Structure 1
């Protein structure tokens, strides 16, 4: 059965937040007059003359007009429009262009691209997506940079706008005119020829060196941080390649330097880095620039995607179903829930699932839709292992429904597949992540408390061992209070003895015989010296000392 094409049903009224507007302003994307045009009430794109459809999440990942010749070539070769590409795919292209120009010292190379990436359809067996219907993926056989792509980008399809088309001196359109009805039928693959593999062998060797040179390792996050820090959009047609970048006065810069907090926030938004993960301040490998020129004998390899002549597009190579690198379909799940470390209403992430993976989770809390997660193209789980694990959780959804009465939480999937195994796996994915995050937080909290409750013990290496320490038959809090009270009483006795006061110790603990009013008056009388006494005993007083009867 052919997959149902969502077509215009995928589009809805654009919802761009103030945070998005402020971010685009800081990045300089809206600096040029009439560079961006925002939709009004339309729920389906109708770009004004001279404008094309794009997305906020494309622009913040390096897209600007006029687009780079390499991106223009990719769109023509694969027969795509901008709205077909997912945000992770846009970031893949930005990183690749930055890698080539700033760290390999060559123009973005089509032959090298074909060795590393392939293009495939993003959808499911039952649904053909149009917006974000294509994914750029790394070949499983290639050792490429770990670019830390997020699992999902929440709501990115709802943040569409119009960007001004500029042809950069080309006779043809720089960006193909918007056509929301254009169908994506299958995946494509354009493998490098033997001649192309030979010509790019030195580049592949250099990439491996950049990854593995001890003390000078280059990462995908460092490449991303570099182009964001330079304020040059990799996917824009520019006056100079990165290897001629001149710094603050460079003609291709869209804005001034981002503040460190804004840069960190943006990198976390477009990657999978958490708050606890550090952001690289610099690259360990010095990028090529005007201040670090290319060697005189540096090879100049030029290989761009073939552009059409007379409007004709090169015939696409359709991927066969038995190609392990490029399956025909990939399941695309939905928006991830709000991350704990984000202070924005909309979270950014995108799904790392193989083309053969099971349908991913739908957030029971946020009732996310199944159309906002893309495959990052870097994860290759085995379907047999997933099925083996999944069969252990059949019925999980039914159990969750019963648990709803006890927790007052919503457990239904918004758009279930009516398949027990798939729905169970979807449910397990979301709550499994939630459980792991909860255990990480619990481990951190218990580790901080451990030395106070168990000063003479060594902290267990596992979370289970640590948790068992805090779950004994006796009341740990009461035990600790009694121990502290015992120390305080002994210290008080020693203090009184040292002051050579005569005390009837047999009556000291009999506080019930003291009237409450007298007790308060005694506390008031002692208050003048309380801080001195507590300091002597090594106890830090609270701001409001209690006048309640002590626990003896």
Structure 2
């Protein structure tokens, strides 16, 4: 596709207005070719070759097969055919438009211009002269924006040019579309922009660009010749005459011809489509193209003889043509320049496309990285929250451990008003300090337990001489914790020993005692015994020594176990 230039202020404003208004966009219409259309094409020689045209039937939008282009019946009968003329291809390229965007009257303008140049001026179509005569504009109405036929070729108001008497509009031409075979499709030499039925029409600055000073100087002679052709009394040339000429000789001006029209060879011409049209058929076709009234005469021949194989170019004119061809800065040079610019632009576009691809890849990578970073950020936030919760939990747990350690430490010192040890070199860490105090108290408790074990072991021999000492300290302690009071039991045992000792003492002195009476505790006179007890006190040590465990003859039960 040719590069699109930016819109002009005029077209931009028009686009803004169209956006604000409720307008209808007119696109493709369903193809409705009639038998009369097909007969006209056949009579004009456009169906001469097999498969040269394909009728789409009842299709709603074109989709050309490979090797075919989209065209219209009204374009074909106005001089269009394939392969396309070099001037037409260049015009489409420079203006950035496609064939279906030109109206039938615009196609006829181009056909007349090429015929004028080759048959009456004896030169190839000159791009500089074209710009002096024509300009392009949009073909819209206040309520309709046309895509098909949305471009009109118009004659400049300050130029004296042939009046063709075009009708204001061609009724129903948008419904008569079909496919035309073009063997040059895809060829770099003949190719044009690929068909795009939905392509938007964008106005370029070159649509109304005027010829440069150098182009005007190169075409002044040609413009004077046109003025002469129009105003020579008795030999005036009109646009209708030019149209009638190319229709009658049946050579399509918009086709890439083997020979220029000034070399037309009549019935032997290699580019001929069919035999010459009859006068009646020609008049009917001319009236179809123009706005002539019924009373107006239709010229079937030209008052000026066109150049052809039988009317060759004069030598001075040929020399002038060669000079103009070498001096003019015309369409061909401009087309070549534009092609070179297009090539450079395509290379630049390709480089930008590669950079865009790299940028897109970098953007996608950045988005992926950003997504992963966001994911990592969320995970880090969750980890920080979990860590904070864990730290708080650890602090709470540590505080609980410290409280429990300090509580356990205070249990070892009930006699000190719950005041614990004081460390000489504290660590300023409550947990470590509490643990150190607990260790000291543990060492003290172990020492006390060891001493208690030794003490209980000594007592065990006296209290439980007939039993084995438990190996476990807890078991040893439990033996000293019976259900009855050990102190009371001990006193009873002592009294028993005392009674037995008294009996033994009396027996040892050979005294006779009535023990039955002595056992009656209710009749004992305590005052009677006070004096003997008092007298016995000085001799208590000897008496006690008599009853010690070393006494061999004693049968006393003084060491009786406490149960």
Q: Deviations over 1:365-423 (max 9, x none)?
A: xxxxxxxxxxxxxxxxxxxxxxxxxxxxxxxxxxxxxxxxxxxxxxxxxxxxxxxxxxx
Match of 1:193? Answer: 212
Structure 1 residue corresponding to 2:132, chosen from 115, 118, 125: 115
Distance 1:42 1:312 in 2: 35
Gaps of 5+ in 2: 1-15, 346-563
Give the total of aligned pairs: 315
Distance 1:313 1:14 in 2: 37
- C-alpha displacement of 1:7: 9.3
Match of 1:209? Answer: 228
Q: Deviations over 1:161-220 (max 9, x none)?
A: 111123299525534321012111336222100000000000000000000000000000
Contact 1:105 1:288 in 2 (8 A): yes
Distance 2:277 2:23 in 1: 39
Backbone CA RMSD of aligned residues: 2.2
**Secondary structure class of the residue paired with 1:243:** helix
Structure 2 residue corresponding to 1:223, chosen from 210, 221, 242: 242
Name the stretch that deviates more: 124-133 or 164-173: 164-173
Match of 1:522? Answer: none
- C-alpha displacement of 1:32: 1.5
Higher helix fraction (1 or 2):
2
- C-alpha displacement of 1:109: 0.6
Q: Deviations over 1:228-283 (max 9, x none)?
A: 11110000000111110111111111001112211111111111112221111321
- Aligned pairs (5 A) from 1:140-539: 140-167=157-184, 170-186=187-203, 188-298=207-317, 299-300=320-321, 301-302=324-325, 303-305=330-332, 306-307=334-335, 308-309=338-339, 312=342
Change (3 A) 1:132 1:185: same
Name the stretch that deviates more: 85-94 or 305-314: 305-314
**Secondary structure class of the residue paired with 1:93:** helix
Distance 1:168 1:222 in 2: 33
Name the stretch that deviates more: 169-178 or 270-279: 169-178
Contact 1:8 1:44 in 2 (8 A): no
1:3 and 2:22 are equivalent in the alignment: no
**Secondary structure class of the residue paired with 1:53:** strand
Change (3 A) 1:230 1:35: same
Match of 2:101? Answer: 84
Contact 1:230 1:257 in 2 (8 A): yes
Distance 2:113 2:75 in 1: 15
Structure 1 residue corresponding to 2:81, chosen from 45, 64, 80: 64
Match of 1:124? Answer: 141
The structure with the larger Rg is 2
Superposition misfits of 4+ residues, deviation over 6 angstroms: 5-8
Distance 1:8 1:27 in 2: 34
Distance 2:259 2:23 in 1: 41
Gaps of 5+ in 1: 316-552
Q: Deviations over 1:398-457 (max 9, x none)?
A: xxxxxxxxxxxxxxxxxxxxxxxxxxxxxxxxxxxxxxxxxxxxxxxxxxxxxxxxxxxx
Change (3 A) 1:206 1:9: closer
- TM-score of the two chains, using structure 1 as the length reference: 0.54
- C-alpha displacement of 1:126: 4.7
Contact 2:67 2:185 in 1 (8 A): no
